[in-house]
Amino acid sequence: MTQNRNEPVWDVVIIGAGIAGLTASIYLAQAGQSVLLLDKGSHPGGRAASTEMSFARVNLGAHALFKSALPILQEVGVTPAGAAPKPPGSLVFEGTNGEHRPLPLAQLLLGSFLKWHEKTQLLRFYSRLLITDTSALHKVSLQTYLESQISSPRVRNVVLALVRLSTYCDDPGLISAGAVIEQLKHGQVLYVDGGWQTLVHQLAEQAQKAGVTIRTSSPAREIAGSYPRMTVTLKDGTQLKTRHALSTAGPAVTLSILNPPLSPAEAAVFEQLIPVRAACLDLVVDGMPQPKTKFVIGADYPWYYSNHSAVVSLSDHPAYAVVHVMKYLSSSGNSDPLQDQRELEGFLDLIQQNWRKHVVQQRFLPRMLVSHAVVTTANGGLPGRPGPAVEGRPGLYVAGDWVGSTGMLLNASLASAKEAARSIISAKEQDKEGVHRGA
């Protein structure tokens, strides 16, 4: 296929119809921009899509929505239905003989496992959290910061468990303490009724209502040119003319489709980003041996277990539940998928003995992409992430969980999508003013 002469010149072509792309498209279309939203998949959603498994909607690994993300979602007409899980009921520690030991959270705080001075350190850390000034901590690693604040290794591991829970990241030596503390301040999360696919459906509906054109099964091969004459070429050869291009693909994919490529210095900003991954065991079960055990995390191990159906509705079958088990992976890349799966199954054996008898369907995702970038100290923490406007390429913008100085995970995707849209709208308004002045 080639360029159709009747093909319009779009104000904005957006690559990627995940949550960032859909959100940006709504802001742009509501501001009167003509918007074409492309996705390589057969339907919108990206990593936010849920899978139908045995009458249940199962997310790609465990997903939680921070309540702090709600204002932007509500601005674009999306109101998620869901509920907040209770705090983890237990943490798993390593015993004196190397065995695994689940410890109820209440016993951790009230029992004898932690000494009095250790409990004091834990309480002091969390009591100071909301008033901690993070501006001086963006270039300090979490590991360094915790060692300066907490002398007890056991207490540091408790904090690291809660950090993994809120960031999905198991790289304390790399991740910025400032970014982590900002994330911990966000507090409560929601599990979403019907899975995250319901967010995708609502966003797609709002996008179409605003006038966005959505084309699925349309992978992009190239972004060429600069404002106001840009071309997006699809893998089938179709050429699309646009004034602005917004890529919500990851940094590596975005770099690979730019023509001409960015300069080495500009490309380095994208190339040095380190992805966050997790090994995910997603289960549809007909109950569990220990139904009261709903939420367990590892303190000395990077583990997560949660029965999401204990909180929200995910299945049409009244007896079926959706359970997520995860291992947060280090960026070292040393993990072995088969060993990770055995490790997660062993974790389940510990907290849900005979769980295999209850499995209706299961799926193992060995290296699920959680986020495109650890917020590292080396890059300057949150303020050091790439901005939505790509340097040296007028008219080219990016958005996603690796872009902008606000938030992590979904919050970063939403904030950067909004910022990219506002930048494009502002650029068009300034261009109009310039034309009027010239006239």
Q: What is the pLDDT of residue 437?
A: 39
The angle at the Cα of 166, spanning 163 to 171, to the nearest 5 degrees, equals 45
Decide the pairing of beta strands 213-215 and 35-38.
Answer: parallel
Kindly list the distances between the CA atom of residue 166 and the CA atoms of 89, 181, 328, 338, in Å, as whole numbers in the listed order.
16, 10, 11, 26
Query: What is the Cβ-side half-sphere exposure of residue 42, based on CA atoms within 13 angstroms?
Result: 0
Domains and CATH numbers, the chain: 9-49+196-273+377-438 (3.50.50.60), 115-186 (no CATH)
Q: What is the pLDDT of residue 4?
A: 52
Q: Are 261 and 267 in contact (CB under 8 A)?
A: yes
Consecutive 10-residue averages of pLDDT for the chain (439 residues): 66 98 98 98 95 97 96 98 95 89 91 94 93 95 97 97 97 97 91 98 98 98 97 97 97 96 93 97 98 97 98 97 98 89 97 98 97 96 96 95 97 98 88 51
- Which one, of 240, 229, 180, lies nearest residue 393 by Cα? 229
Q: What is the pLDDT of residue 98?
A: 81
Q: How far is CA 91 from the centre of its chain?
A: 24
* CA gap 33, 371 in Å, rounded: 29
Q: What is the reported pTM?
A: 0.95
Q: Are 169 and 175 in contact (CB under 8 A)?
A: yes
